[in-house]
Amino acid sequence: MHSRKNINSMRNKLFLGLDGGATKVLAQTCEFDLKSTLITPNGKHIEYSYNESNNFDSTFKPTRLLQQQKEAKKNKYTFSKEEEKQSSSIIDTIVKIILSSVKNNKISHVGLCFPGIKTTNFDGISIMANGPRSIDMLSQLNQKIKSKLGHRLSIKTIYDDSECCVIGEIKSSLGKLKNCKNAIYIGGGTGIADGIILNNKIIDIKNHKELKRSWELIMPNHESVEQCLSLGGMINQWNSTKNIPVSGTIELFNYARSGDYFANNIIEKAAKAFTFLIEKRIKFFQSHNTKPEKIVIGQRLGNLLSDKNNPLSKLILKNYNNQIPIEISTDRRTAAIGAAYKANENIK
């Protein structure tokens, strides 16, 4: 039996969840409720853009993906000065947001999730499609945190952002997947966060022989689901062909509304990619003699689709005739909350 004092001392433990994206980092303080075993956000989240850091270069171009994959395979890396500088500006921003978050709080543990393929020890980023690599990210972060806070806090590992999105939806008091036995999660932002819950278990898609992630799923047009369905992918398609760049999908949708053939083509491909992805996922459930209870769409893609009037929502709903209900998650803090939950799990 826990004594009342013991429960309270646990409950007052605060965890900081950090979600690093392509352009900014989001921080959310959370507390863990022993009774419900759910994690709850405590107060408002904060966000810092990397471009607030002096070193950040908004025109930075990542090393070609094929080159990155070669170097990661050999474990021999060549970083340009620009890549190192870009990486250090991201690290500085993460440190800054941690210091800002711990100022008035008794935060005891920090969890960080980040996109990209991690190093074998989960202490760095070895492949990054939309930003700089950083193979010693963790040691750089902890060194800088230590110089400011002593031994008060350290980050143990870098979590996968897709997994943290799913955990945030399952284990958060605000999550759309709590008490859900079988479900599909699709989070869309710069890339796609893939999630599957089968018989109450989160499936590790990257190590599963039957499953492919969105960037590995190739559609009949020879493009990946991620290239077509992620917001980053849609913008890249436009910007690599048109000489008037767009900074976001809203601008792209405006072009589509005004009848631009190319913008409408991008949106049609995104809707097809959605249907293609769902069909693949449903087949997986069928091979395990079950079907998903729901599909949850989150992150910025969720925010977009919560507006039923934009061209992508209309097309997806028109094409989608499956019986599985779709729920939209518009809470942008989900991955950060998932990272805080993992930090709590890793204490044990």
pLDDT at 304 over 70: yes
pTM: 0.86
Candidates 327, 325, 278, 328; CA nearest to 303 is 328
Q: Is 164 left (phi over 0), alpha (psi -120 to 50) or beta?
A: alpha
Q: d(Cα 118, Cα 112) in Å, to the nearest integer?
A: 13
pLDDT tens column, 1-22 = 444 444 444 556 899 999 998 8
Is the separation of the CB atoms in 113 and 20 below 8 Å?
A: yes
Q: What are phi and psi of 40, to 5 degrees?
A: -125, 135
Largest interatomic CA distance in the chain: 67
Candidates 298, 304, 291; CA nearest to 172 is 298
Q: What is the pLDDT of residue 246?
A: 87
8 vs 271 pLDDT, higher one:
271
Q: What is the dihedral of CA 153, 100, 88, 90, to 10 degrees?
A: 110
- Provide the token pair at 94: 């993460």
- Provide the token pair at 319: 């094409």
- Interval 229-245 mean pLDDT: 89
Count of C-beta atoms within a 10 Å radius of residue 248: 12
Q: Is 333 left (phi over 0), alpha (psi -120 to 50) or beta?
A: alpha
Burial class (CB in 10 A: 0-12, 13-18, 19+), 55: middle
Q: d(Cα 40, Cα 20) in Å, to the nearest integer?
A: 20
Q: What is the pLDDT of residue 4?
A: 46
Candidates 5, 36, 41; CA nearest to 334 is 41
Q: What is the pLDDT of residue 147?
A: 95
pLDDT tens column, 160-169 = 988 899 999 9
Is the separation of the CB atoms in 245 and 262 below 8 Å?
A: no
pLDDT tens column, 288-301 = 999 999 999 998 89
Say which residues have a Cβ less than 8 Å from residue 251's Cβ, sequence separation at least 6: none
Q: Round the CA-based radius of gyration of the chain to a whole number and report it.
A: 20
pLDDT tens column, 40-57 = 999 999 999 998 888 899
pLDDT at 273 over 60: yes
- Interval 21-27 mean pLDDT: 91
Percent of the chain with pLDDT over 90: 69
- Interval 196-209 mean pLDDT: 91
Burial class (CB in 10 A: 0-12, 13-18, 19+), 156: middle
pLDDT tens column, 125-166 = 999 988 899 999 999 999 999 999 988 899 999 999 888 999
> Amino acid identity of 47?
E
